[in-house]
Amino acid sequence: MKDIITVAVVNFKVDAADKESNLSRMCGFTEAAAKRGADLILFPEMCLYGYDYYVDETVSQEDKIRSAETIDGPSCSRIAEITEKYGVYVVFGMAEKLKDSDDATLYNSAVAIGPEGVIGAYQKMHPFETESIWCAKGDKPFMFDTPWGPISVGICFDTYQFPELMRHYVYKGSRLYLNPTAVIEEIPKEGSRQAFIDYYAPTLEYGVLCNTIYVASANLTGTDIVDYFGGGSCIIGPKITPFYETNLHYYAGNKDNVQEGIHMETIDLSLATRRLFVDKEITGEPDYRPQLYKKFL
């Protein structure tokens, strides 16, 4: 299993409800990042069509269904052409409808595509408030195999309010967690930027400090139809320290940046020791005790 990987996260400004424009620029960013040496490129939640269109109650569910795609549809196929050409992985957010099914259910999904083509999709387990108007709740974790081991995915609200998901992934061996997200900055309100940072950054940082893994987060930025998204795409992970306690470092991007663009860095996944989940010298067993926690339910 390899340790050294170059990860790119994209602060992405959507053209609202303009799939062709968004897809064209996603392909452009993917190719540019690949040429700069990226092994994995992460785009935000719902970046293929935009976020606001799907939570708009004046848009019919039938129109939302028509705009959605399956993971073997044309958009994923276009991204797959680039991942195959450059030997890279891409994860991006879109409205997904299930293939080979008459079911009209939609999901807020993150699709993973690799050098061999489409791998699969994670369907968001915890839709945030008005998202439940249009999408169903997913019910399965999702990791995909790579030369760097299993890479895991959660979407936005999954990450910030449900730490059980990330912990499950780390228990299963993941050293890198991907967070495609769509976090709003409420710009008409005084102090909104600080409110965005105070919510967004600490939850990501907690994931690193608590689980001793890397977290890559890609957020929408700028105005969609009505909402203004806060950017702040970043890659954070364990920091080398003389002390036993885990510390963290921002390897690429930062929580303040709202400009569209690529942030990338080469990281060493061997620093992701997952220290709660490995056998300890003193006890011969991990500190993490899932069999005990099951008794709490």
Q: How many Cα neighbours within 13 Å face the side chain of 220?
A: 29
Q: Domain containing 52: what range?
A: 4-294
Answer yes or no: are the C-beta atoms of 96 and 64 closer than 8 Å: no
Q: What is the rounded CA–CA span in Å between residue 16 and residue 20? A: 11
CA–chain centroid gap for 112, Å, is 10
Token pair of 48, please? 């293929």
Q: Which two tokens stand for residue 162?
A: 């449900």
Q: Which of 30-34, 78-82, 289-293 has the lowest mean pLDDT?
A: 289-293
Please write the tens of the pLDDT for every residue from 40-55.
999 999 999 999 999 9
Please give the mean pLDDT across all residues of the chain.
Answer: 95
pLDDT of residue 248: 94
The tally of domains found in the chain comes to 1
Mean pLDDT over residues 45-69, rounded? 96
Q: What is the DSSP letter of 3?
A: -
CATH number of 121's domain: 3.60.110.10
Q: With DSSP H G I counted as helix, E B as strand and the rest as coil, what are the percentages for the chain, rounded to 5? A: 30, 30, 40
- For 139-191, the pLDDT digits (tens) are 999 999 999 999 999 999 999 999 999 999 999 999 999 999 999 999 988 99
SS3 category, 152: strand
| Confidence class for position 101, pLDDT limits 50, 70, 90 | low
